């Protein structure tokens, strides 16, 4: 098996998850059926997925000097991820998130970035070094200026998961560097300045309105994912297997981690990377928490 190299520039959080019968409505108070704490952060979740599948992964980010820092960093080092690019701040706490998960696996998430807001251009520029042989994987839980520094360092490919969602006008400079853009439906709609697309035709229309020149992979939850070329033309739709989900909160991150891992092995096979990402992200919903277990991908190893 070819081992690829992935550099993740992103967030490290500790999640507090509340399990509820259904997601609360506006102004509604409901009782939780359970609570747990676990490592998270989009960047960390994606790095763990790629490393668990066998990629050589290094991480650029930031934590505080609190107990949560040990939890977040420990989850990375346990999977063999190089954390020398993670800065530790004395007076800023580690990022945290509140995750609410319903019985059907659907979720809502609130994030306090805290230390993640300090993954700035100066730090990324200092930490990234030579990334010309690496897939750089990024998200939007850290400052855009830091991601621009990573883009300008000349990665083999830059993969961006534009979450939390932003308008394309805020990301114009960064998007010019992005090789593979991986939004979900809602993020694609916000990027394009349109309502969340619900049909494949609407997804294609949003993609065309976005006017993005790179490869676009839109994740569709239970409907899998679709690859769209510039102009909105659908290249391939990849259906998802039917899975009884326990927790969908980390599925998108698992998808991005798998995609980066596969592209690091063979950057020319985007369709194959998307197919495996859909399959494995679907299986990740069987497990609670945002980070995949150490057995992730074993039953579908390639």
Model confidence over 107-122: pLDDT tens digits? 888 999 999 999 999 9
Whether 300 maps to a domain, the answer reads no
The pLDDT value recorded for residue 250 is 84
What is the DSSP track for 251-299?
HHHHHHHHHHHHHHH-TT-HHHHHHHHHHHHHHHTTSSSSS--TTTTGG
Is pLDDT of 301 > 60? no
The pLDDT value recorded for residue 5 is 98
Whether 261 maps to a domain, the answer reads yes
* CA–CA–CA angle 188, 194, 200 (5° rounding): 60
Other C-beta atoms closer than 10 Å to the C-beta of 251 total 27
Say which of 67, 120, 211, 253 is annotated catalytic: 253
Is pLDDT of 299 > 70? no
Residues 6+ apart with CB under 8 A from 252: 161, 163, 184, 219, 281
| Closest by CA position to 116, among listed 11, 254, 36, 26 | 11
What distance in Å separates the CA atoms of residue 233 and residue 84, rounded to the nearest whole number? 41
Whether 28 maps to a domain, the answer reads no
Active site residue 117: no
SS3 of 206-218: HHHHHCCCCEEEE
Going by the annotation, the residues of the binding site for ATP are 184, 219-224, 252-253
What is the DSSP track for 184-227?
BHHHHHHHHTSPPP-SHHHHHHHHHHHT--SEEEEE-GGG-EEE
The pTM score is 0.93
pLDDT tens, position by position, 220-274: 998 999 999 988 889 999 999 888 877 777 899 999 999 999 999 999 999 999 9
166 close to 142: Cβ distance less than 8 angstroms: no
Whether 299 maps to a domain, the answer reads no
Mean pLDDT along residues 36-55: 96
Whether 30 maps to a domain, the answer reads no
What distance in Å separates the CA atoms of residue 44 and residue 235, rounded to the nearest whole number? 30
Whether 174 maps to a domain, the answer reads yes
Going by the annotation, the residues of the binding site for substrate are 13-15, 41-45, 141, 253
User: Sheet of 107-112: strands edge to edge?
Assistant: 34-40, 13-20, 95-102, 107-112
| Closest by CA position to 83, among listed 7, 136, 138 | 7
What distance in Å separates the CA atoms of residue 56 and residue 215, rounded to the nearest whole number? 24
Going by the annotation, the residues of the binding site for K(+) are 247, 249, 284, 287, 289
245 close to 285: Cβ distance less than 8 angstroms: yes
Other C-beta atoms closer than 10 Å to the C-beta of 57 total 31
Question: In this structure, what token pair is assigned to residue 131?
Answer: 């990334």
Whether 279 maps to a domain, the answer reads yes
What distance in Å separates the CA atoms of residue 73 and residue 61, rounded to the nearest whole number? 10
| Closest by CA position to 112, among listed 102, 97, 127 | 97
CATH number of the domain encompassing residue 15: 3.40.1190.20
Q: Tell me which range, 39-48, 206-215, 288-297, is most confidently predicted by mean pLDDT.
A: 39-48
Total structural domains in the chain?
1
Question: In this structure, what token pair is assigned to residue 53?
Answer: 């599948």
185 close to 220: Cβ distance less than 8 angstroms: yes
CB burial of residue 44 (10 Å; 0-12, 13-18, 19+) = buried
Going by the annotation, the residues of the binding site are 13-15, 41-45, 141, 184, 219-224, 247, 249, 252-253, 284, 287, 289
Whether 84 maps to a domain, the answer reads yes
> What range defines the domain where residue 268 resides?
5-23+35-293
């Amino acid at each position: 098996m070819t081992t690829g190299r992935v550099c993740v520039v992103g967030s490290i959080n500790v999640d507090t998850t509340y399990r509820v019968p259904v997601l609360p409505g506006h102004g509604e108070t409901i009782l939780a059926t359970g609570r747990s704490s676990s490592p998270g952060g989009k960047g960390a979740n994606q790095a763990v997925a790629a490393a668990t599948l066998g990629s050589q992964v290094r991480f650029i980010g930031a934590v505080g000097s609190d107990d949560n820092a040990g939890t977040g960093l420990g989850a990375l080092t346990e999977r063999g991820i190089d954390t020398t690019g993670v800065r530790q701040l004395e007076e800023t706490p580690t990022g945290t998130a509140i995750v609410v998960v319903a019985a059907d696996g659907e979720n809502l998430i609130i994030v306090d970035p805290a230390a993640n807001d300090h993954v700035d251009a100066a730090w990324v520029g200092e930490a990234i070094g030579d990334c010309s042989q690496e897939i750089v994987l990024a998200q939007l839980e850290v400052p855009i200026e830091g991601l621009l520094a990573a883009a300008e360092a000349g990665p083999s490919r830059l993969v961006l998961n534009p979450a939390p969602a932003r308008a394309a006008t805020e990301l114009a400079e960064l998007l010019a560097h992005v090789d593979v853009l991986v939004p979900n439906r809602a993020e694609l709609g916000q990027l394009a300045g349109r309502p969340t697309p619900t049909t494949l035709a609407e997804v294609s229309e949003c993609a065309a309105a976005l006017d993005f020149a790179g490869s676009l992979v839109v994740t569709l939850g239970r409907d899998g994912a679709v690859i769209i070329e510039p102009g909105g033309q659908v290249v391939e739709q990849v259906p998802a297997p039917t899975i009884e989900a326990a927790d969908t909160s980390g599925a998108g991150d698992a998808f991005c981690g798998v995609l980066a891992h596969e592209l690091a092995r063979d950057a020319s096979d985007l369709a194959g990377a998307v197919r495996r990402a859909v399959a494995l992200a679907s299986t990740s919903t069987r497990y609670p928490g945002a980070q995949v277990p150490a057995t992730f991908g074993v039953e579908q190893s390639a």
